[in-house]
A and B are shown apart, each in its own frame.
Chain A
Amino acid sequence: MSFINLKDKVVQVKIVYYGPGRCGKTTNLEYVNRKFRDQIQSEMVSLKTHGDRTLFFDFLPFDMGQIKGYDIKIQLYTVPGQVKYNATRKLVLKGVDGVVFVADAMEKQREKNIRSLNQLHENLQAYKESIFKIPMVIQYNKVDLKDHGVPVLPTAVLRKDLNSRLKVPDLEASAITGYNVAATLKKIISSTVVSIQKKLL
């Protein structure tokens, strides 16, 4: 649920990056944090373990400028990807407005992507949200790895696995190099803002 402050004319929008462990959710946020430094007033908050794995979430507030006189504040969150942290993932999803599902394009991660997407479906249901209704973008991350000889699933296969029923916007990306990171963010922001506008009218 986005929060709209009529007095200060501020809309807060919560976007969560979801996906299996080590798929690149935090890397997405780190790239956004570097690239759009001048639109971000505060430091990125990361709650992580000593091994640099996300423990609770990363948080990055992001100013998008104004729509019809309202300041749009985008709050980007990631969830911890490790299987054992589902309780925490659920907490982070509370009040979510839009989801970026980051899939790992590496061949050996195929199963994990599907399992993670299924769990997202269950977790959203716990908040009476539907994966078929919530604004969502799927990102096939790590496509750069094929240049380094790592077996990567073709996008058509990933699309069939993950997006054949959802039919949401999807794109290839490489969070580490920044390829399509901003495009992913733009897509999810526009779908989310449009969906909020629709609910309000």
Chain B
Amino acid sequence: MNYGIVSQEQLEQIDTILADKLIKLGVDCVIIIDMAGNIITAKDNGESKYDVYSFAALAAGNFATVDAMAKLVGEAEFSLLFHKGQDSNIHFSKIDDELLLISMFGKDISLGFLRLNVVEAIDEIKTVWDTSSS
């Protein structure tokens, strides 16, 4: 990745992974952001309408804050970051030092099932990333 540019081909591959692994599962919206709060890509089920730009800025801030708190108690990081609501939930997962995957999902999906799929999706995304930068 050079100066924050991702090729069209890479983005399409990543979008396909997100659609297959997460949207198909019933996740409402998936966003990949960088730690500065920029959106790399956002995918939704076509029904939910979130303000993804504000979301990305807040999520990056939230993640950075939690990370700083982890350091204060002597942890390298908190690996599970999950917000549970009445009808919707948000799950954060680190892809690498620069990227974050955020899933917003309803009450029909169990957290464990989602996490399994997020791990698989992240592995596949990393492959796309690595092949391009090598």
Please report A residues at the B interface, Cβ cutoff 8 Å.
1-7, 12, 14, 41-43, 45, 47, 56-57, 59, 61, 73, 75, 77, 87, 91-92, 94-96, 199-200
Contacts and interface: CB of A to CB of B under 8 A. Distances in A.
Contacts of B68: 87, 91
Given A5-B41, A42-B51, A56-B61, A94 B7 contact: no
Contacts of A57: 57, 61
Interface stretch (B30-38, B79-87, B106-114): B30-38
Given A42-B53, A56-B61, A59-B37, 11 more contacts: A2-B3, A2-B38, A6-B5, A6-B6, A14-B37, A41-B51, A61-B53, A75-B38, A91-B64, A95-B36, A95-B37
Q: Which of the four size classes fits the interface of chain B?
A: 20 to 34
Contact of B5 (A4, A42, A75, A96): A4
Contact of B12 (A7, A14, A59): A7
B8 A43 contact: no
Nearest to B50: A42
Contacts of B6: 4-7
Interface string B26-64: 000000001111111100000000010110011011001
Nearest to A94: B36
Given A5-B6, A7-B11, A77 B34 contact: no
A148 B65 CA distance: 41
B74 interface: no
A41 B49 CA distance: 13
Contacts of B41: 5, 7
Contacts of A92: 61
Contacts of B35: 94-95
A59 B60 CA distance: 12
B54 A12 contact: no
